[in-house]
Chain A
């Protein structure tokens, strides 16, 4: 079983696959509609200078979200790490 962790704990530059994604709340609905879904590959590009929000790359584009949202997303590190 590969290692799972919270998206907020993903090291910068790491690639992962989303495993669990909350079903409720407007933030998560919008993220889903923007293509952030269980099974989607996600890369943590960087954090803002003050550590929050995060910038991730999904489906070929870059997106920001706050740590408080990223804490509820569980990801699995892509192999080879």
Chain B
């Protein structure tokens, strides 16, 4: 599957062959140091966002132009604090820099970007990167903030000490980007003068490991040295080796040294890290003329309110209220508009095309199906906008900090909070927001339970059932709201319950860490937030689009075939279709829940999206002139449902059945977009299938207990 070291250089190396080939740069830096801002400033819109095959890490490649207008490729790598990777994102940084990935060549040159206000910690990664012996350009970003804080830096001295170009920069204002581009255009970038004395007790081990990595693992000498250092920093050699397991010889050497050091009481990893930091401290002493003032800054003052034991909750509550209010109120207008456009488009196609299966396929299958998903786009966009805003101001980290204690009760950490919360509006942005969770297992558990949070597509179903359950205006609003809240509570408890179960039994792992930087608050830049929002939404559309189109067509086919002979009413047609057959086949399975085959049709068709259940019911119970959409008048449908009976004359939609049906929709995975997004995010069909199975299984079980229990109690 993976090619060995020597063959890894493919894509870029082979393209424009010859000595004139322009170099490929990799951009690396700590999280939050302004890397994406710099990447955007360098490449503008000339960037390609994709995925690294095999993992769900975003791959961003862009093009910038040299002084003489020659294209230069820049790879934007995920933010990381160290090459000793813990998450898939961090592993990508290491693997690309080490030339381990088959899909991307080892970059020729590296741009290290640091947050100058936080120089020491940022230089740790630079120190590791310099080990690679490639030409490096150091970008001192956030110069404006550093200067404001009173930092005075001798840039020329730093350049001299490291032997590499050092460029002060303000990525947000594109200051320094020109200078960076000039440096990138240089044909003769110097190799770093990396003077670093590896601590004496460890140096022989590094040398021996390096030699073995070259000889037995086929690594290049400099990469071998960097890898040897990493093997001695991280305590888990399997994790360092990643997809390229160590040769037996190298493993044996490593184990031998560790055993020896354990006997002598040498803390090799600690010694290595400390010696790097010692070197950095010495370097900083040379180049920092005046340190930044470190009094309680504006951020600390804000935090004294925002994470205050009392005010903190109020702020969190207020932010969440605003978020949900805007999702539900603001999104309504564009959603109605999209609904109308989809209907118009469908009607237009119906008008211009001759009647027939092809026309129906296009209007009822493709347009209606895709329209049903696109209608949620406004909500998804607003959510991404808010998530971007929370992220770029720095509040996201605070929310995780506040909620960590509660989330740890079910074995997750605070970072799962925002994704789960977003899922109340729509699971898709929620699931896409889990990328900030470093731990793979935590991330997976969060993805698995996110769709249990009652999303807005469930609302139409809840509303219809409540209307059928509590007919007329005699019923107090309180009862309706109470029922609604009950559904939300069920979903929430379900999500946390399953999270606990999964963490305890299915995806056991090291207890999650909560080691997280709390970045200073920053004013967000609208341009970046909007850009981010569009990027995410585009990603969703592109990823889900074709599959959703496919499933829509299949679902249409299920309701339209086999054709009912003669001129059938829509009701007769759906009853005779595959969906109708499926409903009848399902009936024995769902009868214990109080559902008949007609409800079964609704369950089948609403796999496209939950709210499709409402329009399916309208067709099945032949409510004429039923206008779908969010604001449909459900009174005629409610009347039809009330009139529906079993063959033996018993009413079908008893209050107990309505309640059971609502509960079914709380738990069941009735959303193809979510299934598709989970497939994309977990990179296999295994997890979305498991998820669909466990959710729908739970739905059946809970409904069974509720319905049978309710009946025994005489409801």
Contact = CB atoms under 8 A, between A and B. Distances in A.
Contact of A65 (B82, B292, B408, B514): B514
A48 interface: yes
A59 B82 CA distance: 16
Nearest to B124: A33
Interface residues of A, number: 34
B308 interface: yes
Contact of B517 (A21, A29, A63): A63
Residue of B270, B312, B408 contacting most chain A CB atoms (<10 Å): B270
Q: How large is the interface on B (under 10, 10 to 19, 20 to 34, 35 or more residues)?
A: 35 or more
Contacts of B309: 49
Contacts of A55: 303, 307, 401, 518
Nearest to B299: A62
Nearest to A39: B274
Contacts, number: 121
Interface stretch (B114-122, B353-361, B522-530): B114-122
A50 B406 contact: yes
Interface in A59-81: 59-66, 68-69
Contact of A34 (B121, B292, B307, B402): B121
B81 A34 contact: yes
Contact of A53 (B235, B405, B510): B405
B274 A37 contact: yes
A51 B519 CA distance: 20
Given A32-B273, A33-B124, A63-B515, A53 B401 contact: yes
B456 interface: no
Contacts of A52: 404-405, 408
A60 B235 contact: no
Contacts of B179: none
A27 B517 CA distance: 14
Interface string B253-271: 0000000000000010110
A62 B308 contact: no
A51 to B, nearest CB: 7
A48 B401 CA distance: 6
Contacts of A31: 515
Given A37-B273, A48-B401, A48-B405, A64 B82 contact: no
B222 to A, nearest CB: 21
Interface string B373-416: 00000000000000000000000010001101110100000100
B517 A48 contact: no
Contact of A66 (B234, B273, B513): B513
B516 interface: yes
Contacts of B408: 52, 66
Nearest to B513: A27
A23 B269 contact: yes
Given A60-B117, A66-B513, A48 B270 contact: no
Interface string B72-107: 000000000110101000000000000000000000
Nearest to B510: A26
B515 A29 contact: no
B312 to A, nearest CB: 5
B118 A53 contact: no
Residue of A50, A52, A65 contacting most chain B CB atoms (<10 Å): A50
A29 B120 CA distance: 17
Contacts of A63: 515-518
A64 B52 CA distance: 30
Nearest to A40: B277
Contact of A61 (B121, B273, B310, B510): B121
A11 interface: no
Contacts of A32: 269-270, 273-274
Contacts of B117: 60
A60 B308 contact: no
A79 to B, nearest CB: 18
A48 B118 CA distance: 23
Nearest to B438: A30
Contact of B277 (A26, A37, A48): A37
A45 interface: yes
B147 to A, nearest CB: 15
Contact of A60 (B118, B303, B304): B118
Contact of B300 (A27, A45, A69): A45
A48 B309 CA distance: 7
B525 to A, nearest CB: 21
A63 B516 CA distance: 6
Given A26-B513, A27-B515, A61-B517, A46 B303 contact: yes
Contacts of A65: 513-515
Nearest to B300: A45
A35 B406 CA distance: 28
A45 to B, nearest CB: 7
A26 B86 contact: yes
5 contacts: A26-B510, A33-B124, A48-B404, A49-B313, A57-B294
Interface of A: 21, 23-24, 26-27, 29-35, 37-38, 45-46, 48-53, 55, 57, 59-66, 68-69
Interface of B: 81-82, 84, 86, 117-118, 120-121, 124, 233-236, 267, 269-270, 273-274, 277, 292, 294, 299-300, 303-304, 307-310, 312-313, 397, 401-402, 404-406, 408, 414, 510-511, 513-520
In the A-B complex, the 4 residue pairs with the smallest Cβ-Cβ separation, listed nearest first, are: A50-B405, A62-B518, A33-B82, A23-B267
